[in-house]
Amino acid sequence: MSDQARQLSRREREIMDIIYAKGEATASEVAEAMAEPPSYSAVRALLRILEEKGVLKHREDGRRYVFLPTEPAQKASRSALKNIVNTFFEGSLVNAVAALVDGREKISPEEIKRLESIIKQAKNR
């Protein structure tokens, strides 16, 4: 994912969240799902910008364009998370995890077991 693609505005992130949740969507469906939608033409313009950034593509369904993400949600979320770690935690995974864990009131035994498993797998690599 390019640096430009990672730099999404609040509205662009909202649209991407909607499309990831639905799998695909038309401009009308995106506008209907937005909390405070701008005009229909503004939604279409944002979708075009997201295509230019390489995070969306479209297919034609009659006269309508149906928009789909260019990457699976898991790959996009990893890329976004990597960007957050680099930006806010000086690239330190330990600092990022510490910020998440220190801020939690309680971590369930299942979550602790999962974290331990991930750490064990990382040690074995």
Average the pLDDT over 91-109 and give the result. Answer: 85
Q: What are phi and psi of 67, to 5 degrees?
A: -100, 140
The predicted pLDDT at position 2 comes to 47
Structure tokens at 64: 């309508």
106-125 per-position pLDDT tens digit: 888 998 899 899 999 999 98
Beta-carbon contacts of 51 under 8 Å, excluding residues fewer than 6 positions away, are 57, 58, 67
Complete domains list, the chain, with CATH: 3-69 (1.10.10.10), 73-124 (no CATH)
Question: Residue 77 corresponds to which tokens in the numbers above?
Answer: 């979320």
What's the confidence (pLDDT) of residue 6? 57
The count of C-alpha atoms lying within 13 angstroms of the C-alpha of 53, restricted to the half-sphere facing its C-beta, is: 21
Rg (CA), the chain: 18
Residue 69, SS3 per DSSP:
strand
| Cα–Cα distance for residue pair 116/125, rounded to 1 Å | 15
Give the separation between CA 110 and CA 104, rounded to whole angstroms: 15
Name the nearest CA neighbour of 40 among 51, 29, 52, 31.
Answer: 31
pLDDT in tens, 70-95: 988 787 777 778 878 888 899 898 88
